[in-house]
Every structure is written in C-alpha cells, then in structure tokens.
Structure 1
Amino acid sequence: MHDELKYWYLRDHKLFWTLSMSQIKQLCITTGFKKATKGDIIYLSSSDVPRIFLLKKGNIKIVSVDENGNETIKEIIQKGDMFGEISLETDETINEYAKVLTDEVSICSFLLSDFEDLLVKNPNLALSYTKFIGFKMKRFKNNYSNLVTKDAKNRLASFLKDWAEREGIQEGNKYIINNYLTQTDIAQIICTSRQTATLLLKEFEEKTIINYSRKEIVIKDIDNLMLISIKQE
C-alpha cells in the first residue's frame, strides 16, 4: 500500500491525533496493511508474531474457543476499533480468532514490539491509548453485567439497541441496521441457543417492534424495543 494512503488512514484515527506529521510518516514505515473478504480468518491468538490490528473498513467478529472446542463471539469489531494483543502482552491461555463478517475489510497492523516502542517514545499517545483501552474494558464490563443480570429477551433487546446506536441509520426513533450477522452469531453474542434467538426475533416481529431479514433489521421505535423486553408475560 502506498505510504500516502497509510498516512491518511492513521491520521484520521483519533488515537494518533497527538502525533506530528513526521511521526505519522515514521509510523507508516512499520505499519502493515491488508484487505480481506467475508469468511477470512485474519488473526489467531496462537500466532508466533504478536500484532495489534486497527480496523479501517468493515466488520469482524472475535471468537473465543474454550477447551472443549465450543465457540462464543467475544466482540464485534467495528470501523476504528483495535484488536489483537491490545493488552500489550501475550497470554497463551487465550484461544481466539478474528473472522471477517462483511464483504470486505481493510486493516492496518503493527508488530507488538514496534507499537510498544512507539508508546514509550510518545507519552501523549500512551495516555490516549490507555483511555482507548479503558473505554473497551468498560464496554466489556457492561456486556458481562448484561449477561449476569438480564434474561435472554432483555439481552437481545439491549444488544439490538447498542448495535443500532453504534451503526444504524437513524430516522427519528426508527433505526435501520445493515445486518451482517447470522442468527447463530446473534445467539452467541447474547449467550443463548440459536432456537431461542430465532423465537425472540420472531416475537419482536409479531409485536411489530422490528422487521428482520438477512440483509437488514429495522427497529421501528427504539423506545418500544426496550419497553417490550421488560414486560411481564
């Protein structure tokens, strides 16, 4: 990839706003870039060369695999997000991979060692990165809280609301989401069976709260979505 394009990709990300033009250009020298298509595996936690990835375009899912081979979607990565060895250390107990969800993704990547050197040399960047990771950890904490305290219906409603507010096209109280997730994906995200997720989506449709298809999800009124999830049957 041409360094000029790398420069603008990095320059546009708020994490690197504290860097000067010359520092960004220097970073371009050590930055890798690749494109991948739907279904491609682009990251394995078992890799011998630890990296940090920055997603510039598309969507990716991080899948965690337990000792019995069971898979759970740990996180959906969106444009501008980072993944890989973001804790700045490798953990051999973690078994996960990243898989492309959308037709095409664009990714910048850094060797973990190069990124650590960059943080050491740029305290302002290190502070920005700490805040960035803190925000991600807060999101994980909220997701974990939802899993512990809410039933499947509430978890689905919360997930759809969060997805809509982060990526949906808003028209008043209505949101239109480009649906790149399968029902199995959604079931894994809210930690329930595919059958339960399917039944809940149908229930939301029957109560005219959403329109669901493989291509898009329309939330007709986001306030009603949250209300229906807490009604007692």
Structure 2
Amino acid sequence: MISDHPHCFLCKHSLPEWYDAIAARSEIVAFKRGQVLFTEGEPASHFYFLHGGTIKVHKQWGAAKDLIIKFAAPGDVLGHRGMGKEQHFPVTATALEAGSACRISTEFFLSSLKVNNGLAISMMMLYAGELQEAEHKMRNMVHMDVKGRIAEALLTIRQVFGTDAGGNINNLLTKQDIASYAGTTYETLFKVLNEWGQEGIVAVSGKDIRIEKEKKLKGFILY
C-alpha cells in the first residue's frame, strides 16, 4: 500500500510500525463515475482515503436541490464529517470520475488516532481547514451576490481540474453541478454565463468554459 499509494493520507501520517495493522484492517475499493460512496443520513461506519479519481461532496439544499460542499482529490479524506455525537454522514459523496480509495472502519480509525500522534494532529489540522472553508462559504452565501459566487466557483473549478490545450476548463461537472457549487440555480447560471459571454469575460461553447478576462472576473468577488 505504501509504495503503490505514497500520497495516501492514512499511511502518510501513520508510524511505519502501524503499516501491518493498516494492511490487515483496510481494503481497496474501486468506484466508477457516478457511483455513490456514501449517502447523507447513513450511519458513518467507514472512512475513505482517496487514491485516485475525483469526488464531489454534496448536501441536500431545500426540497430537491443539492449544494456541492467541496471536491475531493487523491490524498484527501472522506467520511470524517460523520464523526460526532450522532455518527451519521451529513453529506453524500459521488464520483465524478473512476478511481479507488482505501477504506477502513470508524473503529479502526479511532484506534489509529490513539496510536499515531502525527495522524491525530494532521486530522485536527484538516478539520480546522475545513471549518475555515465552511465559514468562508457561509459568508459568501450571505454577503456575496450571485455573480461573485459564480465567478469564485469558476476560478476554483479551474484550479481543481486544470485546463486543456485550448484553455478550456477540464470540466467533469455539468452546468447544474456548477450552479450547485455556486449556491444558485441552473437558470441563473445560464443567464450570467450568457451575459459574460457577450461581454467577453468568458467563452462558452456547449460544455466548454474558458475564462477570457480573469481580472474582470475576480472583480465580482468579495474578499
């Protein structure tokens, strides 16, 4: 596991003496695009340490809408949001592309924390970082207008997924996904992208989105 997946969060932050225990108590699970790893409301029985692929972490928002909380990439942890008093997953994790992850039980993860101080500290820093990010997103939802949220969403998505040779965002997301990440509706996203397209701020062709005037796009964002 260590040589094949050098960026695995669990192995990276555990003592070498703990590797045999990890090998005995973990399993590598493969997933396909569109597969759900766990669903909001289910008992939080497992942790996932992502080895490959990209995952969207999303939450029910209103009657029939989703809010995308974050994107997980190789090296990230999934399932930790279920830790707490009720021990249920507060979010859903869905694969945007095929990949694999190391899966362990919650019980073994707690045992690992007791043995590995480095892992415990790294998890504490992970929670602190995600809390800051959640506060940032909450502030944006309250104080930033919809154009600012869409602008920040496009820049973040480009940072996460990169661009192709033509400068288009390597987009694994649908327009609905982008709207969900920006905390808006598909109709509003469509309207704003059309407006920005006419102004030359972005270029949109089907699923392809290319940022043409980054400085102007950043001007919509409240820092």
Which residue does the alignment assign to 2:31?
36
Which residue does the alignment assign to 1:181?
173
Deviation for aligned residue 1:23? 2.1
Note the residue ranges of structure 2 that are not aligned, 5 or more in a row: none
Which residue does the alignment assign to 2:2?
7
Note the residue ranges of structure 1 that are not aligned, 5 or more in a row: 1-5
Q: Where does 1:15-34 land on structure 2 (aligned, <5 Å)? A: 16-34=11-29
Q: What fraction of aligned residue pairs are identical, expressed as a percent?
A: 21
2:137 is equivalent to residue 143 of structure 1: yes
In 1, distance between residues paired with 2:203 and 2:56? Answer: 24
Q: Aligned pair count?
A: 221
Identify which of 107, 118, 121 aligns with 1:124.
118
Which TM-score applies when normalising by structure 1? 0.81
Deviates most, 65-74 or 18-27: 65-74
Q: Deviations over 1:137-190 (max 9, x none)?
A: 21111111111111110100011122223332499xx96421111111111222
Which residue does the alignment assign to 2:212?
220
8 Å contact from structure 1 (residues 60, 77) kept in 2: yes
Identify which of 46, 60, 68 aligns with 1:65.
60
8 Å contact from structure 1 (residues 15, 128) kept in 2: no
Q: Deviations over 1:8-43 (max 9, x none)?
A: 355324564343433234312222211111221111
Q: Which amino acid aligns with 1:225?
A: L
Structure 1 residues 161 and 49 mapped into 2: Cα distance closer, same or farther (>3 Å)? Answer: closer
Task: Give the alignment's Cα RMSD to 1 decimal.
Answer: 2.8
Identify which of 183, 203, 207 aligns with 2:195.
203
Identify which of 67, 76, 90 aligns with 2:71.
76
Deviation for aligned residue 1:217? 2.7
Which residue does the alignment assign to 1:159?
153
Q: Secondary structure at the match of 2:113?
A: helix
In 1, distance between residues paired with 2:46 and 2:89? Answer: 15
Normalized per residue, which structure has more strand?
1
8 Å contact from structure 2 (residues 81, 90) kept in 1: no
Q: Deviations over 1:83-115 (max 9, x none)?
A: 21345336367653222222x121222211100
In 2, distance between residues paired with 1:161 and 1:96? Answer: 24
Deviation for aligned residue 1:62? 2.2
Which residue does the alignment assign to 1:3?
none
8 Å contact from structure 1 (residues 57, 107) kept in 2: yes
Q: Which amino acid aligns with 2:73?
A: Q
